[in-house]
Structure 1
Amino acid sequence: MRRMKEIRLLEGEYWWGGAVADGIHMPFGIEAFSRGLDPNRTANQATPLLLSSKGRYIWSDEPFDFAFREELLTVESSKGVIELGEGFGSLRGAYRAIQEKKFPPDGRYPHEIMFSRPQYNTWIELMYDQEQDKILKYAEDILAAGMPAGMLIIDCNWHDYYGAWDFHPGRIPEPRKMIERLHEMGFHVMLWVCPFVSADSRIYRELLEKGFLLRNQDGTPAIREWWDGYSAVLDLMHSGAISWFQQQLMYLTEKYGVDGFKFDAGDAMYYEDTDLSAVPTSANGHSEAYAKLGLDYPANEYRACWKMAGRAIAQRLSDKQHDWGVNGLASLIPNGLAQGIIGYSYTCPDMIGGGEYRNFLANSEHLDSELFVRYAQCSALFPMMQFSAAPWRVLDQEHFEYCREAAKLHVQFGERIRRLAEQAAVEGEPIIRMMEYVFPGNSYETIVDQFMLGDRILVAPVLQKGATERTVSFPPGIWFGDDGSQEEGPCTKVIKAPINRLPWYTLNAPFN
């Protein structure tokens, strides 16, 4: 039976939640908008939760579809009970109420180096040429350029075929030696993995015989099209398939010293509700099962996720374009804030400059240096920041220096960010927060181009091409700027922000 609930919007009420990819459309309630979460067909995280600036929430243990039209919010679900909570006063009050009830934190957070140091992903630099000498050169060049060491993520094609989770002997002949050298240079190392299995392989035949692969409704093996071809899919509702995958990962950590894994794919869009699995579940349920694997590894990264709010999983935004608009830089803050408000505190923006590789390649002959710098600055005071395209290679010395300063700023804030991650693991609150979340009742609901890092640091990146100043909304209090300025709020002021400046402010005391 399909359940439906209609909620009359209150005067001046705004809403957030559902799918992270819709952050660019939040807050809801201003104009018509609808989203189906049954299943989640977006390329990012989602949670069956909506939150209101007036202290209300909508929750279901199962996915729902919702629509805002005129003064009405309609929520429908064919599987779960729709719960309306009211009387919590503010956006923060509603979040804390549902978080404590449905996804309390478990006291753990991802590896601290993911917060305190920059991350470097080999994808844009090497693409499918993940070879030992090139990986080591990338790491050496990071240090030679004066960039701080951090987490190094070796992306797709370090292995043979999908499902054969060992280093390709031709591309990486001495994996243990390579990883030891990376560790000596100060890097931690993560490897890219996915739940797919190449269907023309020995491992596919072995897993099929054991019943470890997902099946179509008619009982045939499920072969799914994804961005890298057609592959079979592990049935992660099968305890044997889970054990098999865990054994592959344990082998990599124990034999070679790998520190963790980038768990890519796992999107609900690659599953069907009718798929046959060892334990029946939905497309969203398969995505959720994949995310649970990462809990065994403090160094982890996911881009697609269903539920799992409050858990120690690093959640990256989906691949962005080398663009100023909502497919690129302009999406980082609203979508990053959307991650936090639905329970994914440990947020990471996409690769600096844009990680959608086809778009990046198309722009590689005429990269926008200013855009690259503003990407780095916008990412610098997120919980995590991740480089891929080497700024020392693709930029001139001046613009590279601005990116290096952004990386150093992240390190400067590293211990404070780590403490906020630790706090999130205990109290469950987002690390980066909406202005409305921290300062309710000041008409900040629609601000999507600045954010709070915790409750005391206001960050106001420049997001417009050619801009050397921007408008900042200062809440009540005295705000001490990175440039030595002071502003008394509440006020709205135009501040100077040349290409070499990321404006940030601390509340009631200078940064220390």
Structure 2
Amino acid sequence: MTSKTIEIPVLKDELWWGGAIHDGIRMPYGTEDIEHDLRNLLENSGAPFLVSNRGRFIWHDRPFKFKFGSGTISIDSDNKAILREGQYHTLEEAFHEAAGEYFPALGRTPDPLAITAPQYCTWMEMHYEPTQRKTIDYAREIVRQGFPPGVLIIDDNWMEDYGTWSFHPARFPDPKQMVDELHDMGFKVMLWVCPYVSPDSRTGRMLAKQGYLVNDDRGKTALRRWWNGCSAVLDYTYPEAWTWFKDTLDELVELYGIDGFKFDAGDPAGDANSEWVTGFTWRGTNIPNEDCAAYSRLGLHYPLSEYRASWKMGGAPLMQRLRDKPHTWGQDGIRALIPNAIAQGLVGFAFNCPDMVGGGWDGDLGGTAFDPELFVRYAQCAALFPMMQFSTAPWKALDERMTSYCLDAVKLREQLGPELLALADEAGRRGTPILRALEFVFPGQGYESVKDQFMVGASILVAPVLEKGSVSREIRFPVGTWIGDDGSVVVGPSTIKVQAPLSRLPWYRRETLSI
């Protein structure tokens, strides 16, 4: 299809969000020259959608290239890109109009436990060596330490092999008994899965014979190099292969009572120059990123489904986690959480989760790189996101005092659980983000570029500390009377420096006006 360039003048004071979620740290767009090709989602997720604070939006069914510069937006796509303007005035109005037409909410939410309680992933605790005994012991220790039971994610290598999604009999001798015991303790259980298949396994040979694996441009089984080696890829764009995968997962649900799945990998194949793949042939599509969308649709069948990479799934009841981040204070670490989460909400991913508290990269907790202060501030920042997930047990990595600060953050989440559930219900019905940019709630008041604070719904302002060694921070308060977690009263609009020792996550509730 022939590409066409559309030039759109940027309006006065107009700023934009959307596209690739991992690029959220650079949003809002419009203040500097930036270009991006949405065929590259930067190992995260996204949508072919841009929305502005002046009530305009751009939608296209396919990924497109865009460029901000010289007072214009250049859109490279076919002639089906849609610019809507003139009828709306704010970011919220434009978002709801676009969502209602192009990515409507599906009327469902993830299991409430994923919203009211933390999630606990075994990755950093067990790496590639999870076992039934370790999993039960970890769950018991969570409760013993005073943390609430939540969603427990059994990560990589619980299974026999990649593509052979059966519990490894030596490591998990009685998975039904394990799941029953976890349920009795109050946990829900998710299993890590990926679309990769060991090509020399019995399963790999069977899937290749049935034509369920992706081929290369020679018609042979293609291999993708990924972080765990080199594997064949299930062609989840092909209905028969997609159904085989779903049936396999359904069997785990039926046999053992598994509650959902962490769908890892599934990153878009990208264009022909992608480092991920060259020459893949998908049977079900030739449109970039649609392979990722097909993988994402698997999660719609389970009450708990987590994705790091997905495409065009606005309005879906999926748990959308940000891309793995290093254990750092920088813009690729903790400082990226809020702007990237704002971007998630503004493309319709309302049930979003920051990266895991405690790190997700090998080496994050080793040597001098590990920073206990950062661990605590990360937990505080995540505490009032739509979802929160630990990868490392605080009581193993921190001393008793700092562990208590993480527990305080979790207790705050429990305290506000009913409000989070009410906002999740609204998101399920209307698609409205749970975590919101200040501009979304207070349009046209000068908060467009604030990305170190966020709103939970329309009345709770959260201002985490994101700088090492800081025991205070400056907070911008919109109009209204704000009651702080410390009992203080602030009348906005105003900008005030508040005290925030390591024990404190500053948050404020806007006082409701009496009628």
Say if 2:26 is the partner of 1:25.
yes
- Counterpart Cα distance in 1 of 2:283 and 2:60: 25
1:427 — aligned with what? Answer: 430
For residues 29-178 of structure 1, the aligned pairs below 5 Å read: 29-37=30-38, 39-78=39-78, 81-87=80-86, 88-178=88-178
Q: What do the CA deviations read for 1:306-362 (whole angstroms, capped 9, x no partner)?
A: 10111111100010111011111111101011100111000001110322x22414x
* Residue identity in the other structure for 1:344: F
Say if 2:358 is the partner of 1:358.
no
Residues 457, 507 of structure 1: 8 Å contact kept: yes
Residues 113, 150 of structure 1: 8 Å contact kept: yes
Residues 387 and 57 of structure 1: is their aligned pair in 2 closer, same or farther, counting only changes over 3 Å?
A: same
- Counterpart Cα distance in 2 of 1:66 and 1:272: 23
Say if 2:209 is the partner of 1:205.
no
RMSD of aligned residue pairs (Cα, Å): 1.4
Residues 359 and 50 of structure 1: is their aligned pair in 2 closer, same or farther, counting only changes over 3 Å?
A: farther
* Residue identity in the other structure for 1:24: I
- Counterpart Cα distance in 2 of 1:21 and 1:96: 22
1:344 — aligned with what? Answer: 349
Residues 124, 359 of structure 2: 8 Å contact kept: no
Residues 272, 283 of structure 1: 8 Å contact kept: no
Residues 22, 41 of structure 2: 8 Å contact kept: no
2:338 — aligned with what? Answer: 333
Q: What do the CA deviations read for 1:482-507 (whole angstroms, capped 9, x no partner)?
A: 11111111111111111111111111
- Counterpart Cα distance in 2 of 1:238 and 1:483: 55
1:246 — aligned with what? Answer: 246
Residues 439, 447 of structure 2: 8 Å contact kept: yes
Structure 1: runs of 5+ lacking an equivalent: none
More deviation in 159-168 or 69-78? Answer: 69-78
Say if 2:307 is the partner of 1:307.
no
- Counterpart Cα distance in 1 of 2:111 and 2:426: 14
Residues 3, 81 of structure 1: 8 Å contact kept: no
- Counterpart Cα distance in 2 of 1:197 and 1:34: 35
Structure 2: runs of 5+ lacking an equivalent: 271-275
* TM-score, length basis structure 2: 0.96
Residues 14, 54 of structure 2: 8 Å contact kept: yes
Residues 36 and 103 of structure 1: is their aligned pair in 2 closer, same or farther, counting only changes over 3 Å?
A: same
1:387 — aligned with what? Answer: 390
- Counterpart Cα distance in 1 of 2:512 and 2:470: 28
Count of matched residue positions in the alignment of Structure 1 and Structure 2: 506
Residues 237, 295 of structure 2: 8 Å contact kept: no
- Counterpart Cα distance in 2 of 1:259 and 1:365: 38
Residues 377, 464 of structure 2: 8 Å contact kept: yes
Residues 63, 288 of structure 2: 8 Å contact kept: no
Q: What do the CA deviations read for 1:26-65 (whole angstroms, capped 9, x no partner)?
A: 111111111101x234111110111111111111111100
For residues 362-377 of structure 1, the aligned pairs below 5 Å read: 363-364=366-367, 367-377=370-380
* Residue identity in the other structure for 2:493: P
2:273 — aligned with what? Answer: none
Residues 204 and 23 of structure 1: is their aligned pair in 2 closer, same or farther, counting only changes over 3 Å?
A: same
Secondary structure at 2:166 match in 1:
coil
- Counterpart Cα distance in 2 of 1:348 and 1:366: 24
- Counterpart Cα distance in 2 of 1:380 and 1:19: 24
- Counterpart Cα distance in 2 of 1:178 and 1:458: 40
* Residue identity in the other structure for 1:83: I
1:388 CA displacement: 1.2
- Counterpart Cα distance in 2 of 1:274 and 1:422: 43
- Counterpart Cα distance in 2 of 1:110 and 1:41: 24
1:244 CA displacement: 1.1
1:235 — aligned with what? Answer: 235
2:192 — aligned with what? Answer: 192
Residues 110, 313 of structure 1: 8 Å contact kept: yes
- Counterpart Cα distance in 1 of 2:244 and 2:358: 37
* TM-score, length basis structure 1: 0.96
- Counterpart Cα distance in 2 of 1:221 and 1:236: 14
- Counterpart Cα distance in 2 of 1:405 and 1:308: 33
1:317 — aligned with what? Answer: 322
1:272 CA displacement: 5.8
Give the share of equivalent positions with the same residue, in percent: 48
Residues 235, 277 of structure 1: 8 Å contact kept: yes
- Counterpart Cα distance in 2 of 1:198 and 1:156: 14
- Counterpart Cα distance in 1 of 2:176 and 2:101: 45
- Counterpart Cα distance in 1 of 2:90 and 2:97: 11
1:467 — aligned with what? Answer: 470
1:457 CA displacement: 0.6
1:8 CA displacement: 1.4
1:217 CA displacement: 2.1
1:493 — aligned with what? Answer: 496
1:364 CA displacement: 4.8
Secondary structure at 1:108 match in 2:
coil
Residues 273, 283 of structure 1: 8 Å contact kept: no
In structure 1, which of residues 484, 487, 491 is the aligned counterpart of residue 487 of structure 2? 484
1:218 CA displacement: 2.1
1:281 — aligned with what? Answer: 286
